[in-house]
Amino acid sequence: MKNWIIVGATSAIAEAVGRIWAAKGYKLFLVGRDETKLNSIKADLNIRGADSVNAHLMDVNDFDRHSHCLDSAKAAMGRIDGILIAHGTLPDQKACEASFPLALKEIETNALSVISLCTLAANMFEEQRRGEIAVISSVAGDRGRQSNYVYGAAKGMVSTFLQGLRNRLAKSGVHVTTIKPGFVDTPMTSAIEKGGPLWASAEQVAEGINKAIEKQSNVVYLPFFWWGIMAIIKSIPEFLFKKLSL
């Protein structure tokens, strides 16, 4: 049995991961800002076999509450074995281009709030000489593209931060997993036309996350073929890449 915090627990991918862990009998501490949905998921995971499920209301952009959140999780579960950070938004790129305050808000949500939580979790796990940090980043962070470079910049910041954090914590028995999904059919992508082999379901990605954590993978692309796609995209010379409509 393991004790995990899930931040952004009401997201489709996080909910699917929670179902997997509930079936394994984990203790879960769910963090989200939609009280009704959070309580609904809590009830569902209890039915699915979780040892215990706690729900904690928090807006991730309220940085001052992050420390209290981790303290509450420890008090509720006795110990913390890992934290999955799964929250995020998909910004309107054109709107962000027209408004720096909006772009900053999106970067706060998708990057700075993640870095704050990871910093606190890292210090806690480093002190106890064990723990798992798993964070959903994105393939969008591998290279800036005109269609979503604000989102990509935030995810790129997260991926680079996690790389350094993984390097720092390796000697402490603390593992950091960076998760890079491609196109996932969730409510967050509802405005995007879907179809074709590049799209995955939340359940498929959740299975990949569970396996990556069990194997203590460093960086995982989900589905796996996104590693090859992004390798090609990253290899295109900048003088050609800047002329592409991506």
**Average pLDDT value for residue range 24-37:** 97
pLDDT-derived band at 38 (thresholds 50, 70, 90) equals: very high
From 91-95, 161-165, 193-197, the region with the lowest mean pLDDT: 193-197
pLDDT-derived band at 44 (thresholds 50, 70, 90) equals: very high
Rounded alpha-carbon distances, angstroms, from residue 237 to 27, 83, 112, 233: 48, 37, 30, 9
Task: Tell me the domains of the chain and their CATH numbers.
Answer: 3-241 (3.40.50.720)
- pLDDT by residue (tens digit) across 4-15? 999 999 999 999
- pLDDT by residue (tens digit) across 200-240? 999 999 999 999 999 999 999 999 999 999 999 999 999 99
In this predicted structure, the answer to whether residue 70 has a pLDDT above a threshold of 90 is yes
In this predicted structure, the answer to whether residue 191 has a pLDDT above a threshold of 70 is no
The mean of the pLDDT values for the chain is 96
pLDDT at 190: 67
